[in-house]
Structure 1
């Protein structure tokens, strides 16, 4: 793998995107940024099973749920996905349920929740992805009637983006940087949400590339450590990991049901009678897709705990064992395993789904991986191999977190 395998990223646009990524000006109530849940300190994640979004305070496992009228109303239903190598040209589908994909269905390059209202001119799928947290109520937009962004989203998803774009372009420092970074922008008033998304996409594309791991060295002839080499043979052999985790990014970009322990508010649809998450079926409406979630890349996986679409496991040993014995591990899983900061007013919801016997039976009946009998030593060797996928420079990113942003708002 090399830089040629990625979409190009203009350095000026990436530097601008770095500031936008950490600037709370993009959120409805100006109190959360992209970087809050995808922070450099946590290697592009937040260290939580289910995130605390708009209204929360602090970072990572120490983030609290806020107080008074500003407190959160709901946990983020799914684990914050890692950003590593999402600018790779092979990536054509994103989000745990795949609700954003490269497609000409709506003549704008993508099949997305915005359908025909997604603007044209987005550079690639990573730029398109950047638009959706901005319009999500519990992630960045805020609650209806709290701010003009949330109110506009309630009207129609694309009504919010011009409001956000105007917020940004009227800040003189941002206006000048857009003129400098984009050849077709001659004056700040020309800046739209498309340029903002493309700058964010350029930053994420350039910032989170990683392909200098011991495994990459192995591909050039440098041997792995003995335990990692044993784990590699298991991974591509009898452990069956490579059935789904294959290719340069270690993902088939497909969807699979693993029967992970269920908890949290669920990513519910309007007609769901319970706080469940049906995964890919929520996007496809195909019954065969029930409880299937997108295969994550394993690049730098040792840095991005917790694991699973809902962050059910805090370490690699747990998630590896679950893959080997999914129903046994599901039954043995304990609630305290989840990294969920205490939110007293949501505690009744956190695990209520587990009391629904019929829903639990449906989830347990849909498992796409067969049990495999491996020893404790095998598990340790698989984990050693997963550690060999950590880039040598993964902890030292090119741009990192800015100290300040042009809006003057505090940087998490």
Structure 2
């Protein structure tokens, strides 16, 4: 008799007496939810959990006393399906694991006893008490909850590691052109700002500000000033500058805080974007399409009406400005020949279009800021020593009790959906033409659906420790702050202080910076839209989550493929 069979028949068989009845669609097209390490799959009702290698199992049963059985390899134990109803018994599952050979002398209890019917009640896996038949077939499944030591997260809950296959392939020569353009003011209306002024590598590919200072400002990062005289900034950028990490991923299908750019064939060009049917064809990725819009945004790079021909063209129609910028580039003595050399389809500089410029920018951003070598990535790839004790504890919380992975899901750590968190409101807002005052309704401005009010896209988390401040408007300067807000948004809003916003002093904008917070009706609407259930975590658990966030920082973030050009002027 094999070891697995021995445990299954003699140990587990006597304790898997209490089952819960779950419903499975007749077509088996949907998985039944799982409880911890116990996974119930369509047509297969069995309890699975893993005992790590080099671990001593303590039976704790009368038959064997306190015998400890060591395992040289990881052991998967599966309990067979039974047919008892959840109300038929209050049987307990008693199971313990002693310390590992290399562990501390003090025994670590990895698995706690729990009432099966309490598990079923918590997850609403109940029998149909009314005697009604459910659609499809019913299977009986065991309920087992493992209260694991924080260093272990269920392997089934962790995403697969990111690999080269998860990213779009880009041309290195085109990326080199993109690097030059990213740091060159030639793409701005007044030739006074670059992409790097709001997305600088020294600030995690952001700008270190809650709300950025765009066209007209001077300097980079938190020290950027708003300019003076006729050229001074007229408005703060209404949302926080997001990081640029892993934007070349194949699975990415929406961008911007409100998702106003996404993969779609609604307009016949592959994208649903603010340019609608006027978006040029030939863009090779979602990232290339994204690169076009800051160039024609008034307060970001285009400039104010009357200042240059680019912003004038934008006010005629959004796509009218891009040919002007393309002409600037192709008539440049350096850029023209470089584009001919980098793009096979171009024979002369006169053929360079905004599509080639956008594709070059996308190639640079995708290759420069691909990040797949964090300690967490190493752990996912099989290096169990890559995370220390605190980081593993934070990982277990992230994928377990704290339920962070409900939204920060998958290999990219984002479900790419929209959620209303009720962040403290300030700044000019991203107003629509019919909004009576400055506010930001988030996704609803794009979808026109009331259920999307004040909802914003779930951000990806690679290198998140480098990209402060946090939130769609940068409301929190620390990871601890944004985590605490997630735990209880209403209480966090009440405790939030204005000085927490990273806003350089701009005297002529100060009157409107916090005016929205004085509108009681708008604040009430925002709070009622919050879609977060409050949760309690201890200070120690929050610190462990923060430690795990730091474990998402890539080892090579300070040694990118291209770097900052030596002639870049902040």
Structures share fold, TM-score greater than 0.5: yes
Residue 337 (1) aligns with residue 492 (2): no
Secondary structure at the aligned position of 2:334 is classed as: helix
Bigger Rg over Cα: 2
2:458 is matched with 295
Residue 136 (1) aligns with residue 324 (2): no
Residue 60 (1) aligns with residue 216 (2): no
- 1:318-345, CA deviations, whole angstroms, 9 ceiling, x for partnerless residues? 0011111111111100000000000000
- 1:241-279, CA deviations, whole angstroms, 9 ceiling, x for partnerless residues? 011001111100000000000000000001111111000
1:3 is matched with 164
1:37 is matched with 198
Residue 221 (1) aligns with residue 379 (2): no
- Counterparts of 1:155-166 in structure 2, within 5 Å, are 155-166=316-327
2:360 is matched with 199
Count of residues in Structure 1 that have an aligned counterpart in Structure 2: 407
1:21 is matched with 182
- Which 4+ runs in 1 deviate beyond 4 A? none
Residue 411 (1) aligns with residue 555 (2): no
1:115 is matched with 276
Residue 367 (1) aligns with residue 530 (2): yes
1:383 is matched with 546
2:514 is matched with 351
Cα distance in 2 for partners of 1:73, 1:134 equals 17
2:448 is matched with 285
Cα distance in 2 for partners of 1:373, 1:39 equals 36
1:407 is matched with none
Residue 73 (1) aligns with residue 197 (2): no
2:21 is matched with none
Secondary structure at the aligned position of 2:508 is classed as: helix
- Flag the structure with higher helix content: 1
Residue 310 (1) aligns with residue 473 (2): yes
- Counterparts of 1:164-179 in structure 2, within 5 Å, are 164-179=325-340
- 1:374-408, CA deviations, whole angstroms, 9 ceiling, x for partnerless residues? 1000000000011111111112211111123xxxx
Cα distance in 1 for partners of 2:178, 2:383 equals 37
2:407 is matched with 244
Q: CA deviation at 1:232?
A: 0.6
Cα distance in 2 for partners of 1:217, 1:131 equals 35
Cα distance in 2 for partners of 1:331, 1:396 equals 41
Q: CA deviation at 1:29?
A: 0.2
Cα distance in 1 for partners of 2:480, 2:355 equals 41
Secondary structure at the aligned position of 1:80 is classed as: coil
Cα distance in 1 for partners of 2:164, 2:182 equals 22
Q: RCO greater where, 1 or 2, for CA within 8 Å and sep 6 or more? A: 1
- Structure 2: segments with no counterpart, 5+ residues: 1-161
Q: TM-score when scaled to structure 1?
A: 0.98
- 1:216-242, CA deviations, whole angstroms, 9 ceiling, x for partnerless residues? 111113231001111111111111101
Q: Is the 8 A contact 1:43 1:395 kept in 2?
A: no
Secondary structure at the aligned position of 1:130 is classed as: helix
- 1:87-140, CA deviations, whole angstroms, 9 ceiling, x for partnerless residues? 000101000000000000001110000000000000000000000000000000
Cα distance in 2 for partners of 1:359, 1:93 equals 28
- 1:360-379, CA deviations, whole angstroms, 9 ceiling, x for partnerless residues? 00001111111101100000
Cα distance in 1 for partners of 2:204, 2:182 equals 14
Q: Return 327-336 or 1-10, whichever deviates more.
A: 1-10
Q: Is the 8 A contact 1:301 1:387 kept in 2?
A: yes
- Structure 1: segments with no counterpart, 5+ residues: 405-409
Cα distance in 2 for partners of 1:395, 1:270 equals 42
Q: Is the 8 A contact 1:313 1:337 kept in 2?
A: yes
- 1:298-325, CA deviations, whole angstroms, 9 ceiling, x for partnerless residues? 1100010000000000010100111111
Cα distance in 2 for partners of 1:396, 1:357 equals 48
Cα distance in 1 for partners of 2:383, 2:554 equals 17
Residue 102 (1) aligns with residue 102 (2): no
